[in-house]
Structure 1
């Protein structure tokens, strides 16, 4: 009987935890490498690795990657799975076996290359996303595709909820891939279609800022969901103060061409209704201000008066 293939996982933190647990349970896991990560996460992974008798190594920065090839030669995995590993794997490490490195990208490829596809698909109001398994190359997210596993996006999904959903789905996808490599002589794959490719850089302030004059109600709420919780909501400005809108819903009611960003009303539940560029409104439910994260009932409503404007 052929010996079971050994899999080493390179990861970036807790997003990979369920996948690691599944691989360890099925006796596939032979090593764990973490890039960056906080001390608590590193300690937890190291303890779990010791308990499961698998190799462990931390790669805190790019310079430390020069130690990776030596480590791989010592552990001798049959395959290396990457789940949100933050660094580009150098060519001298990939030469361990180019068809042995498989990345699991939390977004559809080639359309959503880049470090934060979960933010981008939510911001762009996509109805579905994917976990893409692909062979790794010396360029981020450009290796041959093995498959895109489709995941539906629900109306209530924000960045945090979709991340948790994808983390759980990732465990199933990774186990399926682990089973595939046990029996396949060659992993089926295909080149990415470059005409469909787009690389999204890590979002900055201009990507998370609400442009009231340009953006419609659905676009604004999608941006708010895409920024919650990693950015503590979408950025806005009110009376010279930077604020973040954490939760809001669309109010499908015209505001009769009021100035976009203007507060139209303060409802009985104290939610703040604001005009958008498409003659719809959003009801702001939770915000982060200099006073802290507050619900509408806790707002200093003297500051949020009808006719005042966000900008």
Structure 2
């Protein structure tokens, strides 16, 4: 099948790699424009662009797919299908209706639940025990099109946003190839979504990572895992940002107020929450490397009674 691929981040690059090593022909990739990143504000290619360059695949980077001049390029390419994975732009009707087999989306959740942005992270934050990938036909809505295939992926007890991302990316690439074969053979099912079972996940931003110790420990532990590696969960210690990368829930109640350090051992720092406590296991103080609490305490003295989550304390 002759395919135009649209995608931008790491997940999309994994899916594209599966396509490249299949029997399908990639006519071109469409990805977001290069943008400055990091402290140095150096312009960086998207992961999809970097992969396409390795295989000499033509690259298109329109600021907006609706801009004048882009549709004629797609028409000239004449793809049989457009495959979309975490592209980052909404496709207009003119593009959706262009390919013979339509626009096929790789979505990292079990639709209809978790439509929209960041379904991977929200499935962890919300305490789901499983998620998965849905291959679907795209329509004018956001993740509302008919479903073709699904594959479930269990969420482990210590699953992070990063580890689940990698699992779903691999799963999505494999499931896509299976779906494309069924589409070509004319055997692909089309299942309408039940809108009443859906919810829209909001985009992640750094402010979400500020830990509110007035919430239960079990919710905060899921937040820490879901936001790992980005944007990360954090609090403040002695006026410096303290990122928490790993923590365990302690169900037993103890005296103290939310945010108070109630216990310090050789390898844990225990923080009181509204229900239970969090035992920090891995952290990163502003200006320092990520490390275990045991390594951290070798060079930093912390006493019980200190209150976290206040930049001025």
TM-score (norm 2): 0.86
Q: 1:48 aligns with which of 27, 50, 54?
A: 54
Aligned residue for 1:85, secondary structure, equals coil
What is the alpha-carbon distance in structure 1 between the residues aligned to residue 94 and residue 53 of structure 2?
29
Is the 2:10–2:48 Cα contact (8 Å) retained in structure 1? no
Aligned residue for 1:292, secondary structure, equals coil
Deviation, 1:99, is 5.2
Deviation, 1:88, is 0.7
Report 1:1-311 matches (<5 A): 5-36=1-32, 38-39=44-45, 41=47, 44-50=50-56, 54=57, 56-62=58-64, 65-97=67-99, 100-184=102-186, 187-213=188-214, 215-231=215-231, 233-252=232-251, 254-269=252-267, 271-278=268-275, 280-295=276-291, 296=293, 297-299=295-297, 301-302=300-301, 304-311=302-309
**2:37 corresponds to which residue?**
none
Aligned residue for 1:169, secondary structure, equals helix
Post-superposition Cα deviations, 1:22-69, rounded to whole Å, max 9, x if no partner, equal: 32222213223232253263653333342xxx5x22225226754442
Task: Calculate the aligned-residue CA RMSD, in Å.
Answer: 2.3
Deviation, 1:97, is 4.3
Is the 2:261–2:272 Cα contact (8 Å) retained in structure 1? yes
Is the 1:255–1:264 Cα contact (8 Å) retained in structure 2? no
Alignment coverage as a number of residue pairs? 296
TM-score (norm 1): 0.86
Provide closer, same or farther for how the CA distance between residues 64 and 287 of structure 1 changes in structure 2, counting only shifts above 3 A: farther
Is the 1:68–1:93 Cα contact (8 Å) retained in structure 2? no
Deviation, 1:285, is 2.0
What is the alpha-carbon distance in structure 2 between the residues aligned to residue 65 and residue 24 of structure 1?
28
Aligned residue for 2:59, secondary structure, equals strand
Structure 2 gaps of 5+ residues are 35-43
Is the 1:69–1:96 Cα contact (8 Å) retained in structure 2? no
